């Protein structure tokens, strides 16, 4: 082994603490890089899975391709060619107003493998004549094993052929085509990728041999390289004479097909930004580690130079250290990162199981990711070691000979003001001088602290604003369930309201009318930007808003009005309403829709159809309110809520068109209870009992889902912040403790002239205070600026005012001071009571 290699190894062994701490820095950095890359890949994989679950595993479709061309396609260099055909519609229920059809699709084997059909019972078709139907069909009496004869045909409205996506149209005509026999071989869940607006869907096996050469089929494709698909498909479609083509946009986007795709680009940029931050943080730590090590061994390098070691040989020592540390740290870091992320994803899958259904976060490990991480890490180590290596090589042999190593310090560099001495005493003055003499190291340490502070505060603020906007929408809603009633017996509603678990309820009627407002009557948020652009205008230039007139039942109305210090009776005599002047756009912004006052009269009208004149009426604003009543939801950006009594609503409706009257007659029931789970079950079982036609919105479930999502976000963000902080702490520990150890002789000298151990601790306390103060003086303002930027950038406008993230700032201030102080104390403890003369007699030999 060469002498330089021996020197490297022994140096690493001797300075165990430094070696271990630097390796920890490399491990943390590597773990984070591969962690971020893996998470990004996992997210991408999840979105791909979700796109497949939602839409099927294909990249593009060619419509109306002659069967003879399919073989041509199979010859081409495509991953998979799937053939399907619309067999037609069979009538399930004949009705002039709302007919019901069974839409039969034929799939070949590859299609059955690639499209997400969830089998509930039986098997998927494997032969011609076999058919799978949905659970709804099973409820209508279709069972496995049954043979059915279906007359298949097409739907037409006038001359236009209707598809499965078209609702049953009044006046549409069904034309029979052929009779076919099918044996039901399986039952499936309603397929998400195929929307049937006029009934149900069934799938049978496509036998290509039974079709004529010129019969038209649809072909779904998977290509080998998605990147070129948007350019390659049109000529291919033309080549095979396809009538049309389409893309599975959602899947292609997550496979990275489109270079211009915003979502992919966003994910890529976020990943890159985070990795750059990690690299910057890591480089400061590892650079600092090498810088300290070189500084500590200045004499040694000087001796080597004086004995004849070349600059290249000395540089080699430092680089070799980097190589050895990397050889240990990089594999451990990668392993730690993969294990950490694997565990995190498992936890997240459990938390998010209900949100993402059939998909799951998978740990995506690719050799490329590992290779790139190792490369990044090697680059980080090289960059970090490069400057210190260069410095080591430049150390003049004379530095080895002279006892003082700080010969380059000029008096003015370490000058401190008299005020420092007055305020902080000799100890504080010495502390400040020490800091000034080692500016570069000081700056590196402060920079590392600064990065940690900025990242911690910024990410925490981001979380905070995210939570606030989420809470604004769903957090404030006081009800647990909304039951929209369509068609049911009156008993159902009576029994529903009598459920004992209900603590509060409201029977809510709504009437959508239109209001004309001039610009000054709109709230400040609606007066500009895309909000204003979204509002339609009439010929006179007035802005048209949807006005949602709502009544919530007498009991709730009285409660609401009294809670706000008003008299319910005032709103019964006159035709007036309470303007609910607060709206929230989900996850975005809270704002005041209108800028009108109590007493103003609004001109409203219902919506007209078929050329009829809208019915106009006037409504006075009896009060302007800031909070939602129980039973009233937030609305869209071009709408506003006005609360009226039941009587006022019905009296307004009586003067409007029939459509509006029907609308006012419909109602929903808003419920809240002590145990939302039991209440939900009772509602559902009542609905089944009465075969009621209703729709249940489970607000509490939505709130729970949001909580889960934000928990996941919190895990990622706080996990990241913790790791970045750990890197920062590693750096501080290394820098400060070594810096202190290097000054053992100095401290011994001070003790020899009478500095007490308490005095020594005081110097140390001041130094850590100055480090912390400097880092905080830069870090805190920058963090606040970044928080402001995020406040503005991530939401267009918040009507809650900007809040300085006090909690995070305080944690930072305390944390930074604690870390720096504890580090120095730990380092100085060793020698603060040692024999003075031993330390004074110290030369670099020990």
Binding segment toward other proteins, per CB under 8 A, in 2-10, 176-184, 573-581, 646-654: 2-10
Least distance CB 444 / other proteins (angstroms): 26
Under 8 Å between Cβ of 73 and 81? yes
| 442: CB partners within 8 A, 6+ apart | 435, 436, 771, 774
Q: What is the spatial distance between Cα 527 and Cα 640, in angstroms, rounded to a whole number?
A: 14
Of residues 14 and 259, the one with the C-beta less far from other proteins = 14
Tell me: does residue 843 bind other proteins (CB under 8 A).
yes
Tell me: does residue 2 bind other proteins (CB under 8 A).
yes
Of residues 171 and 312, the one with the C-beta less far from other proteins = 312
Candidates 722, 685, 799; CA nearest to 344 is: 722
Least distance CB 298 / other proteins (angstroms): 12
Taking each continuous run of H as one helix and of E as one strand, the counts in the chain are 26, 22
Of residues 389 and 545, the one with the C-beta less far from other proteins = 389
Under 8 Å between Cβ of 616 and 514? no
Q: Enumerate long-range contacts of 594-601, CB under 8 Å, 24 or more apart.
A: 594/517, 594/521, 594/522, 594/523, 594/640, 595/520, 595/521, 595/522, 595/523, 595/524, 596/521, 596/621, 596/624, 597/621, 597/624, 598/622, 598/623, 598/624
Least distance CB 367 / other proteins (angstroms): 38
Q: Is 512 helix (H, G, I), strand (E, B) or coil?
A: strand
Strand partners, 618: 603
Binding segment toward other proteins, per CB under 8 A, in 4-12, 146-154, 276-284, 773-781: 4-12
Under 8 Å between Cβ of 180 and 220? no
Q: What is the spatial distance between Cα 297 and Cα 14, in angstroms, rounded to a whole number?
A: 12
Kindly state the number of chain residues that form the binding site for other proteins, as judged by CB under 8 A. 33
Least distance CB 398 / other proteins (angstroms): 5
Q: What is the spatial distance between Cα 220 and Cα 481, in angstroms, rounded to a whole number?
A: 42
Of residues 198 and 395, the one with the C-beta less far from other proteins = 395
Q: Which of residues 666-685 bind other proteins (CB under 8 A)?
A: none
Beta-sheet pairing, 147-157 with 216-223: unpaired
Under 8 Å between Cβ of 611 and 559? no
Under 8 Å between Cβ of 121 and 145? no
Q: What is the spatial distance between Cα 323 and Cα 662, in angstroms, rounded to a whole number?
A: 79
Of residues 212 and 312, the one with the C-beta less far from other proteins = 312
Among 16, 94, 141, 403, binds other proteins (CB under 8 A): 403
Q: Which of residues 267-326 bind other proteins (CB under 8 A)?
A: 299-300, 302-313
Of residues 150 and 294, the one with the C-beta less far from other proteins = 294
Among 396, 685, 693, 777, binds other proteins (CB under 8 A): 396
Tell me: does residue 405 bind other proteins (CB under 8 A).
no
Q: Is 823 helix (H, G, I), strand (E, B) or coil?
A: helix
Tell me: does residue 235 bind other proteins (CB under 8 A).
no
Least distance CB 442 / other proteins (angstroms): 24
- What six digits make up the tokens of 510? 């709504």
Among 3, 339, 375, 837, binds other proteins (CB under 8 A): 3
Helix pair angle (757-794, 806-829), 10° resolution: 150
Of residues 70 and 317, the one with the C-beta less far from other proteins = 317
Tell me: does residue 398 bind other proteins (CB under 8 A).
yes
Of residues 303 and 356, the one with the C-beta less far from other proteins = 303
Phi, psi of 623 (to 5 degrees): -165, 155
Least distance CB 781 / other proteins (angstroms): 38
Least distance CB 231 / other proteins (angstroms): 56
Of residues 753 and 845, the one with the C-beta less far from other proteins = 845
Candidates 278, 305, 366, 347; CA nearest to 32 is: 278
Candidates 477, 458, 412; CA nearest to 439 is: 412
Least distance CB 37 / other proteins (angstroms): 39
Of residues 313 and 416, the one with the C-beta less far from other proteins = 313
Tell me: does residue 23 bind other proteins (CB under 8 A).
no
Least distance CB 415 / other proteins (angstroms): 15
Of residues 412 and 626, the one with the C-beta less far from other proteins = 412
Candidates 584, 706, 595; CA nearest to 636 is: 584
Least distance CB 416 / other proteins (angstroms): 20
Of residues 7 and 493, the one with the C-beta less far from other proteins = 7
Q: What is the spatial distance between Cα 298 and Cα 792, in angstroms, rounded to a whole number?
A: 50
Q: What is the spatial distance between Cα 218 and Cα 70, in angstroms, rounded to a whole number?
A: 9
Among 37, 60, 255, 400, binds other proteins (CB under 8 A): 400
Q: Which of residues 598-617 bind other proteins (CB under 8 A)?
A: none
Q: In b/e form, how buried is each residue of 351-387, taking b as 16+ CB within 10 angstroms?
A: ebeeeeeebbbebbbeeebbeebbebbbebbeebbbe
Q: Which of residues 102-141 bind other proteins (CB under 8 A)?
A: none
Of residues 179 and 415, the one with the C-beta less far from other proteins = 415
Least distance CB 389 / other proteins (angstroms): 15
Least distance CB 840 / other proteins (angstroms): 14
- What six digits make up the tokens of 410? 């000029």
Q: What is the spatial distance between Cα 767 and Cα 544, in angstroms, rounded to a whole number?
A: 66
Q: What is the spatial distance between Cα 615 and Cα 517, in angstroms, rounded to a whole number?
A: 17
Tell me: does residue 717 bind other proteins (CB under 8 A).
no
Tell me: does residue 14 bind other proteins (CB under 8 A).
yes
Among 55, 342, 397, 759, binds other proteins (CB under 8 A): 397
Least distance CB 846 / other proteins (angstroms): 6
Least distance CB 735 / other proteins (angstroms): 23
Least distance CB 753 / other proteins (angstroms): 23
Tell me: does residue 11 bind other proteins (CB under 8 A).
yes
- What six digits make up the tokens of 312? 């290249």
Q: Enumerate long-range contacts of 410-419, CB under 8 Å, 24 or more apart.
A: 413/437, 413/439
Tell me: does residue 406 bind other proteins (CB under 8 A).
no
Of residues 4 and 378, the one with the C-beta less far from other proteins = 4
Number of residues that this document lists for the chain: 846
Binding site for other proteins (CB under 8 A): 2-4, 6-7, 10-11, 14, 299-300, 302-313, 396-398, 400-401, 403, 410, 843-846
């Amino acid at each position: 082994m060469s002498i330089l290699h021996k020197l490297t190894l022994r140096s690493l062994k001797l300075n165990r603490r430094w070696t271990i701490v630097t390796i920890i820095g490399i491990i943390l950095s590597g773990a984070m890089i591969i962690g971020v890359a893996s998470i990004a890949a996992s997210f991408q994989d999840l979105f791909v899975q979700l796109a497949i679950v939602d839409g099927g595993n294909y990249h593009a479709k060619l419509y109306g391709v002659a069967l003879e061309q399919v073989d041509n396609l199979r010859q081409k260099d495509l991953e998979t060619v799937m053939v399907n055909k619309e067999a037609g519609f069979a009538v399930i229920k004949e009705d002039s107003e709302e007919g019901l059809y069974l839409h039969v699709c034929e799939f070949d084997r590859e299609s059955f493998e690639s499209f997400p059909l969830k089998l509930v019972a039986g098997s998927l078709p494997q032969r011609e004549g076999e058919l799978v139907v949905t659970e709804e069909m099973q409820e209508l009496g279709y069972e496995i094993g049954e043979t059915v004869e279906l007359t298949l045909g097409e739907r037409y409205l006038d001359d236009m052929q209707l598809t499965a996506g078209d609702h049953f149209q009044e006046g549409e005509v069904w034309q029979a085509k052929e009779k076919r026999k099918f044996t039901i071989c399986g039952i499936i869940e309603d397929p998400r990728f195929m929307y049937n607006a006029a009934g149900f869907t069934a799938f049978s096996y496509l036998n290509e041999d039974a079709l004529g050469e010129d019969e038209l089929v649809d072909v779904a494709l998977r290509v080998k390289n998605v990147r070129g698909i948007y350019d390659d498909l049109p000529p291919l479609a033309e080549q095979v004479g396809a009538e049309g083509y389409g893309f599975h946009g959602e899947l292609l986007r997550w496979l990275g097909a489109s270079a211009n795709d915003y979502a992919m680009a966003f994910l890529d940029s976020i990943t890159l930004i985070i990795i750059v931050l990690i690299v910057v943080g890591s480089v400061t730590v590892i650079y600092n580690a090498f810088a300290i090590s070189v500084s500590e061994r200045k004499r040694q390098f000087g001796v080597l130079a004086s004995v004849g070691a070349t600059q290249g040989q000395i540089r080699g020592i430092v680089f070799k250290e980097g190589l050895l540390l990397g050889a240990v740290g990089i594999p451990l870091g990668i392993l730690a990162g993969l294990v950490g992320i694997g565990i995190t994803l498992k936890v997240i899958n459990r938390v998010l199981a209900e949100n993402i259904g059939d998909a799951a976060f998978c740990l995506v490990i690719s050799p490329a990711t590992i290779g790139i991480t190792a490369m990044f890490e090697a680059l980080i180590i090289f960059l970090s070691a490069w400057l210190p290596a260069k410095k080591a090589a430049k150390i003049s042999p004379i530095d080895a000979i002279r006892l003082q190593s700080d010969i380059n310090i000029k008096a003015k560099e370490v000058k401190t003001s008299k005020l420092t001495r007055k305020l902080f005493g000799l100890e504080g003055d010495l502390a400040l001088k020490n800091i000034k003499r080692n500016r570069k190291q000081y700056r590196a340490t402060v920079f590392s602290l600064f990065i940690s502070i900025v990242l911690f505060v910024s990410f925490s603020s981001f979380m905070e604003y995210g939570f606030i906007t989420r809470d604004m929408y769903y957090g404030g809603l006081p009800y647990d369930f909304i039951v929209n009633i369509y068609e049911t017996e009156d008993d159902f509603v009576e029994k529903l309201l009598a459920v004992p678990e209900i603590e509060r309820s409201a029977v809510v009627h709504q009437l959508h009318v239109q209001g004309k407002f001039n610009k000054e009557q709109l709230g400040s948020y609606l007066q500009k930007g895309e909000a204003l652009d979204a509002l339609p205008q009439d010929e006179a230039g007035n802005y048209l808003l949807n006005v949602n007139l709502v009544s919530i039942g007498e009991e709730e109305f009285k409660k609401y009005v009294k809670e706000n210090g008003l008299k319910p009776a005032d709103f019964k005599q006159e035709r007036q309403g309470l303007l609910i002047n607060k709206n929230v756009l989900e996850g975005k912004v809270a704002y005041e829709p209108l800028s009108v006052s109590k007493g103003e009269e609004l001109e409203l009208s219902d919506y007209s159809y078929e050329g009829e004149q809208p019915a106009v009426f006037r409504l006075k604003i009896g009060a302007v309110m800031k909070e939602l009543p129980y039973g009233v939801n937030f609305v869209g950006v071009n709408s506003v809520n006005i609360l009226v009594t039941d009587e006022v609503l019905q009296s307004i409706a009586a003067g409007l068109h029939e459509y509006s009257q029907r609308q006012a007659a419909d109602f929903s029931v808003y419920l809240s209870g002590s145990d939302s789970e039991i209440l939900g079950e009772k509602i559902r079982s009542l609905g089944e009992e009465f075969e009621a036609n209703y729709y249940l919105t489970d607000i509490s479930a939505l709130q729970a889902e949001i909580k889960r999502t934000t928990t996941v976000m919190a895990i990622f963000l706080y996990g990241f912040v913790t790791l970045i902080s750990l890197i920062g702490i590693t750096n501080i520990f290394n820098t400060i403790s070594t810096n202190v150890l290097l000054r053992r002789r100095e401290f011994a000298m001070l003790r020899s002239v009478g500095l007490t151990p308490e005095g020594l601790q005081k110097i140390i306390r001041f130094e850590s205070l100055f480090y912390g103060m400097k880092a905080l003086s830069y870090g805190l303002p920058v963090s606040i600026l970044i928080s402001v930027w995020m406040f503005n950038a991530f939401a267009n406008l918040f009507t809650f005012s900007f809040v300085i993230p006090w909690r995070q700032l305080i944690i930072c201030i305390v944390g930074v001071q604690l870390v720096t102080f504890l580090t120095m104390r730990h380092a100085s403890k060793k020698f603060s009571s040692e024999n003075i003369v031993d330390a004074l007699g110290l030369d670099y030999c020990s």
